[in-house]
Amino acid sequence: MTAYWLFAAYAVAVALLARGEDEVWAVWAVPAYGVAAVMLPRSRTGSVAVLTAVFAVAAPLLLLLAQGGELAAGMTVIERSAELLVKDGTPYLPSWQLSSWLAYNPYLPAMALFGLPSAAGLQGAPGNPRVWLVLVTVAALGAAFCTLVPHSVRGCTDCRRGAARYTAFAVACPVMALNLAVTTTDPPVLALMLVSLGLIARPERAFASAAALGLASAMKPTAWLAIPVIAAMLRTRDGTRAAIRFTATALAFVAAALIPAVIASPEATLQNTVLFPLGLTYHLTPARSLMPGDLLARTGPVGHDVAAALVLVAGLAIAVSLVVRPPRDLRAATWRLALGLALMFALGPAERFGYFIYPLGLAGWLILTRQEPPPAATRVPVSVADRSVADIE
């Protein structure tokens, strides 16, 4: 109940300070969270979570889709990148066609998958990348919470209900709800990272975990830090060979997505995926934030170089910490990942406040998965991913 009241307070702040699609979301979210907080003592938590998700995500999303108009910049880039991928084998415009900031595609090639329905000729909602981003995110979150239950969700009603309840609550949290309603490109990447964290709790699921993280890393570089962090944890828990196998599998997915684009046009790939995100191109994104790194970069070339140097120092510090004091369990690795991402997003020369969906989402995952071990009689392993979400209540 406290969480829902805090969510409502955040939505009120967004309603007062934001404009555009963020304001539309807040108008729906404020009453949704308030009603949820009032209903919770009298209703089942699962039903409240589902209804909150519907009114805090589905309703504003459907309203924004019905309003039509031009796609947001990110969705325009995804649609164009899918068309280029089908036509030219690369999702990036050549250097001579990069005439404005909107011509750049800062995403890695796997992000173009969300635009393939539109490239295939589907019209309306079935061809809208926003719809597919939301569907994949919700499905991945469901899969992540399914890794927490002790039995198969197909054969256990309690496990199925528990996973559904926590999926609905995660979707309804403002960290996810706002980004899903206005549809940014970060939710599916974060959701796949959570799938990877849920799977890696069991050593026999290491390959599937690496595949999920590899797919996320083939969409956006924001997932890359998770590879060395989880590998360091695996080296401590399961040995060096397990860590190498995990790293190789994850990197294989990134390479499979990126190498064809590099072969097709190395210069365009460099311009779009490296120089533009770092603010080193002629055309810069108009987005601004109050992050220290962004404020430094706006002071001029020297400030930009200082911010870039700070990110490099932060990256080296994280690398040293993984060698000197590697995380010994999954929770420690997740905290290390959340703190590392928060530090790099704060210091980066072209980072945005929206990127904090990653450390906040990881912190929320740790809170939701913090629970007591099940009774010994159940003979269920006591790792976090093996404990029943039904025990949390």
Q: Of 283 and 120, which is predicted with more confidence?
A: 120
Among 229, 253, 137, CA closest to 190: 137
Among 57, 61, 65, CA closest to 123: 65
Give the lowest-confidence range in 56-60, 101-105, 369-373, 384-388. 384-388
Q: Residue 385: its pLDDT value, please? A: 40
Q: Residue 69: its pLDDT value, please? A: 55
Q: Residue 20: its pLDDT value, please? A: 83
Task: State the chain's mean pLDDT as an integer.
Answer: 87
Q: With contact defined as beta carbons under 8 Å apart, do 200 and 193 qualify?
A: no
Asked if residue 379 has pLDDT above 50, the reply is: no
Asked if residue 220 has pLDDT above 80, the reply is: yes
Torsion of CA 322, 325, 331, 334, to 10 degrees: -20
Asked if residue 253 has pLDDT above 80, the reply is: yes
Asked if residue 109 has pLDDT above 90, the reply is: yes
Give the lowest-confidence range in 12-26, 41-55, 273-287, 319-333. 273-287
The 3-class SS string of the chain reads CHHHHHHHHHHHHHHHHCCCHHHHHHHHHHHHHHHHHHHHHHCCHHHHHHHHHHHHHHHHHHHHHHHCCCCCHHHHHHHHHHHHHHHHCCCCCCHHHCCCHHHCCCCCHHHHHHHHHHHCCCCCHHHCHHHHHHHHHHHHHHHHHHCCCCCCCCCCHHHHHHHHHHHHHHHHCHHHHHHHHHCCCHHHHHHHHHHHHHHCCCHHHHHHHHHHHHHHHCCCHHHCCHHHHHHHHHHHHCCHHHHHHHHHHHHHHHHHHHHHHHHHCHHHHHHHHHHCCCCCCCCCCCCCCCCHHHHHHCCCHHHHHHHHHHHHHHHHHHHHHHHHCCCCCHHHHHHHHHHHHHHHHHHCCCCCHHHHHHHHHHHHHHHHCCCCCCCHHHCCCCCHHHCCHHHHC
pLDDT band with cut points at 50, 70 and 90 for residue 372? very low
Q: Residue 371: its pLDDT value, please? A: 60
Q: With contact defined as beta carbons under 8 Å apart, do 117 and 126 qualify?
A: yes
> What is the separation of C-alpha 172 from the centre of its chain, rounded to a whole number of angstroms?
15
Residue in the block written with tokens 């919700």: 138
Give the lowest-confidence range in 13-17, 134-138, 302-306. 302-306
pLDDT band with cut points at 50, 70 and 90 for residue 255? very high
> What is the separation of C-alpha 142 from the centre of its chain, rounded to a whole number of angstroms?
14
Domains of the chain by residue range = 44-392
